[in-house]
Amino acid sequence: MRSGQTQLFIPGPTNIPEAVRQAMNVPMQDMRAPDFGALTLPVFADLKRVMRTETGTVMIFPGSGTAAWEAAITNTLNPGDRVLMARFGQFSKLWVEMAERLGLSVEVIDVAWGAATPVNEIARRLGADRSGAIKAVFVTHNETATGVTSDVAGVRRALDESLHDALLFVDGVSSIGSIDFRMDDWGVDLAVTGSQKGLMCPAGLGILGVSDKALAAARTATMRRAYFEFADMLAMNATGYFPYTPPTPLIHGLKAALDRILRHEGLEAVLARHHHLAQAVRRGVAAMGLSIVAEHPSLASDTVTAIKVPEGIDAREVIAIAYAEFNTSFGSGLGPLNGRVFRIGHLGDLNEAMVLTALSVAELALVRAGADLRFGAGVGAAQAWFAQARGTAPRLTIAAE
Ligand SMILES: *Cc1c(COP(=O)(O)O)cnc(C)c1O
């Protein structure tokens, strides 16, 4: 038994606000009761606001974000369909693998881990596809493994400019609710997320935004599906019910979380807070003399930062020390980044003081793992940023020799 709180700085599951935790502590209720829709219908409406869609339909599948990936694919595509995907991190890699396992013919564009979706190359391939063989383009909006955010609007433009009518799939698991995401403006046909990242709930809900065009595709798509059948979900959701038992406590939690996002803080303020805190993390990391995986500052994610450890240091050791000695969880380097990178998740229910804790423990753990850096360098840069953001010029220079 260790005293004090364990600090959670992984990019999902994220910290759950106390009010959301309390909201989930409910007796079980009858999911066929006449008033069940009073719980669920406002949740669907709120999710549409978070995804910024008026014309789309939101569905909630018991399952994680990966379940929503599978639901999106199996309902709208046909076996053997050609789809275009860029691979630049662990999550885009897994999405490619799922598409292949499900029997799609995946045209993969490999770019460096640290780069973003190559919009120009996607435009070129769409332009060359005169016969319309490409049935869908998949974009990982925020690649959680590398901390890189892609330009979904740019991909939409590429589709429009080549008059291509492929469906646009977007993985927004670590962006929706934390980074600007516009389902209608960007013409996203399938927007995928889960409950445990920006939405500040436990894992367990795979959430999908589905455009009218995707719904039309679902009426003729021949890929096999059963549990994830849109038609079953749509028929029941229309009045607030589910085709199978929904996890009602999670829906209560999601309702409370959406209330915080939309009515207490406001979606714009939530996005601005994520940007503000991410800037502090990036300034802190730079002041420690470390670099991030994102190839260019303009690509750096506002929800997660993947940090390269100095030569000769094992990132796994940094993570292990942070956990064992300082009760703090950082995200690991995934795939080829394992051992070379640790990640700070900075999304969901987070504030400035928490960011200072993350940077402070990161410094300690790095030094304990053998890195040569000056205590306070990263924390000081973040403190200076927070002071500057309030219009106060920092009067102290922190961490002088
Ligand atoms: C977390 C994550 C996933 C996987 O979601 P699960 O809920 O773990 O299934 C997929 N894509 C991205 C970008 C993620 O961050």
- What pLDDT, in 10s, does the model give residues 264-292? 999 999 999 999 999 999 999 999 999 99
> Do residues 188 and 232 share a domain?
yes
Between CA 355 and CA 349 the distance in angstroms is 11
φ, ψ at 183 (rounded to 5°)? -60, -45
Can you tell me which atom of ligand 1 is nearest the CA of 142? 13
pLDDT of residue 400: 45
Pocket of ligand 1 (CB under 6 A): 12, 64-66, 91, 140, 142, 144, 171, 173-174, 194, 203
**Structurally, how many domains does the chain consist of?**
2
Closest CA to 107 of 131, 127, 77, 87: 87
Flag whether 396 is in a domain: no
| Final residue of a structural domain among 210, 245, 263 | 263
Which ligand 1 atom sits nearest the alpha carbon of residue 67? 9
Which string of DSSP letters, residue by residue, matches 53-81? -SSSEEEEEES-HHHHHHHHHHHH--TT-
**pLDDT computed for residue 391 by the predictor:** 86
CATH number of the structural domain spanning residue 256: 3.40.640.10
pLDDT score at 221: 98
Parallel/antiparallel/unpaired status of strands 205-210 and 304-308: unpaired
Domain end, chosen from 232, 263, 294, is at: 263
Please, which residues have CB within 8 angstroms of residue 233's CB and are 6 or more apart in sequence? 59, 61, 242, 243
CA of 130 to the centre of ligand 1 (A): 33
Give every residue of the chain whose pLDDT is below 70, as ranges.
1, 392-401
Q: Compute the chain's Rg from CA coordinates.
A: 22
Q: Does some domain include residue 399?
A: no
Locate tokens 């009858």: which residue?
Answer: 30
Indicate whether 105 and 87 sit together in one domain. Answer: yes
Pairing mode, if any, of strands 341-345 and 328-332? antiparallel
Which of these three, 223, 238, 263, is where a domain ends? 263
Distance 169 CA to ligand 1 centre (A): 14
Q: Which domain holds residue 98?
A: 18-263
pLDDT at residue 124 in the model:
98
Q: How far is the CA of 173 from the centre of ligand 1 (A)?
A: 5
Task: Say yes or no: 154 and 250 in one domain.
Answer: yes
CA distance 353 to 379: 10
